[in-house]
Amino acid sequence: MTHSRFSCLDQLMASNYIDAIVLNPGSTLTYLTGLHFHLMERPTVLLYKLGSQPALILPELEAGKLASSTIPLTSFTFGDDPVEWQSVFNRAIDKLRLDQATLGVEPACLRYMEMTFLQNAAPDAKFSSADAVFGNLRLQKDKEEITCMREAVRIAQDALRATLPCIKEGVSEKEIASELIIQMYKAGSSPNLPFAPIVAGGPNSANPHAVPSDRKFERGDLVVIDWGAGCNDYCSDLTRTFAIGELSQELCSIYQTVQTANQAGRAMGKPGIKAGEVDIAARTVIDKAGFGEFFTHRTGHGLGMDSHEPPYIFGSNDLLLTEGMVYTVEPGIYLSGNGGVRIEDDIVVTLTDSESMSDFPRDLQILG
């Protein structure tokens, strides 16, 4: 697997005229090496030049992790005195002969600190966005990756089922978010959840990225729950919306519309279809129902080692879906001051069609 990942990387680098890549701690570094690091005040950087053994600059205190690498690495370690760090970067650049290379970076990930060390070590090097490389490297998942994601979906769904009896009038958003996290761990999630759960009731449910608060659920509330679990570095990302008691006719109407839009988006995906057509299919349902101005975000995003990655499901995206791509379908309607609905599923493109890995009921459930 590692060999095939580097073969793909080599092809992408060559076709994009990138001599070498630079990676901070994150999903791509883990994808290529199997190693886990976190961003901190000490720099950690992976350097890979076409045709050379990758090099890893890292703190001495992290050196014990190297034994778990899935690939051979040349390591350059440093101690706690920041005065030493530039010389370590200089040695690594010299070793790989990158002083005049075109270095591809992840533009949303490489920090100023590491960039400065690299520029000082290679003042004649050219730094370039390698979005076209990294955006395609992990785009299609293999069977092992999809198996991990299916398990992440199962864990998340089991956790929500265990949490549902706690959702009732008088209970706060924070209390349900806490319980859901506990249940995900009990169901087998990796310690690092893909993101903090969103639990939003009543008017708060009209904020797509609400943060759980001390607000207690009331009769007539919609409750949006957006959550995900982890399995072997891979994510799930799901959303369901519930009712506390009977809803107003308007809130029932937006629920039914979003449910229909979700179904239309899920049905559209298949090999050869543009990613944008999935968005259009879901958005058309909401537009025709008269709620188009209240659907304020794209229909979905890719899913894998990150909870948001390519392919992105927006109307003008001409990327053709192919087997192994995984993405979300999550249309929503948000009525400010009243309530919102979102229903989100995780979709994998198969050889001839697509399949929802999530099957938690989408019909409106009245709780509490």
Q: What is the mean pLDDT of the segment spanning 355-366?
A: 98
φ/ψ of 234, rounded to 5, equals -110, 155
Question: pLDDT for 144-166, tens place per residue?
Answer: 999 999 999 999 999 999 999 99
**How confident is the prediction for the chain on average, in pLDDT?**
97
Q: What is the mean pLDDT of the segment spanning 245-262?
A: 98
Question: pLDDT for 346-358, tens place per residue?
Answer: 999 999 999 999 9
The domains of the chain, with CATH numbers, are: 2-137 (3.40.350.10), 143-367 (3.90.230.10)
Question: pLDDT for 161-183, tens place per residue?
Answer: 999 999 999 999 999 999 999 99
Beta bridge partners, 55, equal: 47, 74
Q: What is the pLDDT of residue 368?
A: 80
Task: Name the token pair of 305.
Answer: 């080692």
Q: What is the pLDDT of residue 89?
A: 98
101: pLDDT strictly greater than 70: yes
Q: What is the pLDDT of residue 73?
A: 97
- Cis (ω within 30 of 0) for the bond into 208? no
Please state the three-class secondary structure of the chain as a single string. CHHHHHHHHHHHHHHCCCCEEEECCCHHHHHHHCCCCCCCCCCCEEEEECCCCCEEEEEHHHHHHHHHCCCCCEEEEECCCHHHHHHHHHHHHHHHCCCCCEEEECCCCCCHHHHHHHHHHCCCCEEEECHHHHHHHCCCCCHHHHHHHHHHHHHHHHHHHHHHHHCCCCCEHHHHHHHHHHHHHHHCCCCCCCCCCEEEEHHHHHCCCCCCCCCECCCCEEEEEEECCEECCEECCEEEEEEECCCCHHHHHHHHHHHHHHHHHHHHCCCCCEHHHHHHHHHHHHHHCCCHHHCCCCCEEECCCCCCEEEEECCCCCCECCCCCEEEECCEEEECCCEEEECEEEEEECCCCEEECCCCCCCCCEEC
Dist. CA 313–CA 6, nearest whole Å: 27
Question: pLDDT for 61-93, tens place per residue?
Answer: 999 999 999 999 999 999 999 999 999 999 999
Dist. CA 64–CA 34, nearest whole Å: 14
The contacts of residue 122 (CB under 8 Å, 6+ apart) are 93, 98, 99, 100, 101, 103
Dist. CA 221–CA 137, nearest whole Å: 43
Question: pLDDT for 267-276, tens place per residue?
Answer: 999 999 999 9
Dist. CA 279–CA 311, nearest whole Å: 12
C-alpha dist (Å) from residue 278 to 284, 288, 363? 10, 16, 21
The confidence band for 4, taking pLDDT boundaries of 50, 70 and 90, is: confident
Question: pLDDT for 21-74, tens place per residue?
Answer: 999 999 999 999 999 999 999 999 999 999 899 999 999 999 999 999 999 999
The confidence band for 297, taking pLDDT boundaries of 50, 70 and 90, is: very high
Q: For the whole prediction, is pTM greater than 0.75?
A: yes
Q: What is the pLDDT of residue 1?
A: 55
Other Cβ atoms closer than 10 A to 148 = 21
250: pLDDT strictly greater than 70: yes
Q: What is the pLDDT of residue 37?
A: 97
2: pLDDT strictly greater than 80: no
Question: pLDDT for 191-228, tens place per residue?
Answer: 999 999 999 999 999 999 999 999 999 999 999 999 99
